[in-house]
Structure 1
């Protein structure tokens, strides 16, 4: 397993990490992902650790905390072998302080997560969404308190816009508080919006991407093909509405390219899609999920080999879309050079 520094920090993380969203799964979204019990979770953790995958990602909102509880039980007796990443900020109840990242909520959320995870520290704590109602200074000073107390070691964000991340980093620098080093983002061959703003920000400011849903909400599993209906039992029947929409023709164009390269490399479509992501700038770790041992072992086969430059170029071309203003066309120097004479005239 390859290990990389997480952003501009000294923490090394595996290029593949494991997402525990299926652990204890319940409800319309997480129940559709899977419902891994304690015994199966421990078996999946065994396989991950044997393969060098020592980073496990979860969140308090995953099945109302059940994911953290099952993960904590699966790591019992070997906590020192693992890195735990969890998230907080999304609603955990109907009360006025059951959502957001106020000082009150953050401290309580971390204490609750520590109890469920059966640990006394969290390796990476990420804010699951931007809280516009709480001053950035309150959020960051509270994270500083938690880091100084030894309850949290590194901090990051998820689902933030570029300006929200940059504002927080500027405030952290002003007061000497911990900087975000992780940005957990949606990124896949059919969802490359991350590249337009957050990727250059991450490269400039030292945030490593932890990629979630790298197979595009199950669209890049190899089961969806041009001219065929969704297969029976596909998770997309239940989960497609939760993810960003994808135009059919764009999806099929990407899948066609993936299938051709999978045949050339004697790999599976998901393995090719995951391998492409591991090569992208700023990506520290790609979070894989699995409902069973077979799925996990297949996803682990995404590393230990490389796509050729030609294969990468073909995937890039098949998945490319025109970036919106202001990222296009002025972000490209050659495009600006062509336009500059007419602008000046």
Structure 2
């Protein structure tokens, strides 16, 4: 989550450069991240490198004090997309994702607005984030009914400790050809294997930062530390790092087309990108699935 605080601009540029050098071409952000500063930094970082990149961003969250400065109404979506384009310093967004379901706006209004923006050339593809299975199904049905471009991807919380989306979202995504893009796949950094359950996370660590997205509350417990210990054992047996095992496991799931991995150092990029080449043996996958 670039823009201020935990990762400064200089380090953020080096992380993005390392990602591009390693062959990564998908950069995901959102207008709400650091009040737009993350998009601004990404815009500066990709200057002169835009071709070949897939830039994804998200909109929904409050970006001002006004009643129309949030949500998925026509007014806010148009304004949010234009503001994201300005901050990203680009004339189109490859994947524009609605960050949350909006119970106050008919999904038909949102889809019609997004399709208008597609026709204007401001958006290439549409996605959603944090939708329940029924919300995704309703959105897809509405798109079919109206003859509109539909969501092609969904971003959701998913990792070895939190696998609830396997039951309903995975089958729906596979049936409808929707790519699943999970976030928090490393459980806020817990799957690096560097944290001690008996001690508070270091003050300069991601887990202790305000940018961790509630990861400590969500993952800092006995069950997840036992899971991490098993992943560390598996990694040692196979000659990999725990993060590589966790990412390889995640990428083995058929609906998953990409993963969101936050990195604060270039060397983390180099290490994590190797996970796409790892093919875990069936018995290892069975063991990890049982945790």
- Residue 97 (structure 1) shift: 0.8
CA contact (8 A) 1:68 1:116 kept: yes
Q: Distance in 1 between matches of 2:64 and 2:242?
A: 39
Residue aligning to 1:314: 287
How well do the aligned residues superpose, as a CA RMSD in angstroms? 1.7
Q: 2:18 maps to which residue?
A: 47
Cα offset for 1:295? 2.1
User: Which residue is 1:298 aligned to?
Assistant: 271
Q: Which moved more, 1:152-161 or 1:306-315?
A: 306-315
Q: Distance in 2 between matches of 1:314 and 1:118?
A: 46
Give the one of 147, 160, 163 matched to 1:189.
Answer: 160
TM-score by length of 2: 0.94
Residue 99 in 1 paired to residue 80 in 2? Answer: no
Corresponding residue for residue 3 of structure 2: 24
Q: TM-score, normalised by structure 1?
A: 0.79
Alignment pair present for 1:152 and 2:123: yes
- Is it true that 1:228 corresponds to 2:198 in the alignment? yes
Specify the SS of the correspondent of 1:220.
Answer: helix
Partner of 2:79: 108
* Number of aligned residues: 288
Alignment of 1:1-345 (within 5 A): 21=1, 23-25=2-4, 31=5, 34-37=6-9, 39-225=10-196, 228-233=198-203, 234-238=205-209, 242-243=214-215, 245-246=218-219, 248-318=221-291
What is the alpha-carbon distance in structure 2 between the residues aligned to residue 190 and residue 75 of structure 1?
34
Q: Closer, same or farther in 2 for the Cα pair 1:117/1:247, shift >3 Å?
A: closer
Counterpart Cα distance in 1 of 2:277 and 2:67: 48
What is the rounded CA distance, in whole Å, between the counterparts of 2:167 and 2:13 in structure 1? Answer: 38
Report how far residue 92 of structure 1 moved: 1.4
Residue 246 to residue 70, structure 1, CA distance change in 2 (3 Å): closer
Post-superposition offset of 1:238: 4.0
Q: CA deviation at 1:247?
A: 7.3
Answer with 286-295 or 84-93: which moved more: 286-295
CA contact (8 A) 1:156 1:182 kept: yes
Instruction: Show CA shifts across 1:101-146 (max 9, x none).
Output: 1000000000000010000000000000011101111101001100
Partners of 1:192 and 1:203 lie apart in 2 by: 16
Deviation by residue 1:69-124 (Cα, 9 ceiling, x = unmatched): 10011100111121100000011122101110100000000000001000000000
Q: 1:175 Cα shift?
A: 1.0
Q: Could you tell me how far apart the structure 1 residues matched to 2:238 and 2:208 are?
A: 30
- The answer for the alignment partner of 1:337 in structure 2 is none
Match of 1:3 in 2: none
| Distance in structure 2 (CA, Å) of the matches to 1:159 and 1:266 | 35
Task: Give 1:210 shift.
Answer: 1.1
Which has more radius of gyration? 1
Spell out, residue by residue over 1:42-93, the C-alpha distance to the aligned partner (whole angstroms, 9 max, x if none). 3222221221100100000000100111001110011112110000001112
Q: Alpha-carbon deviation of 1:40? A: 3.2
- 1:242 and 1:228 map into 2 onto residues whose CA distance is 19
Unaligned 5+ segments in structure 1 are: 1-20, 26-30, 319-345
In the TM superposition, residue 308 of structure 1 has moved relative to its aligned partner by 1.1
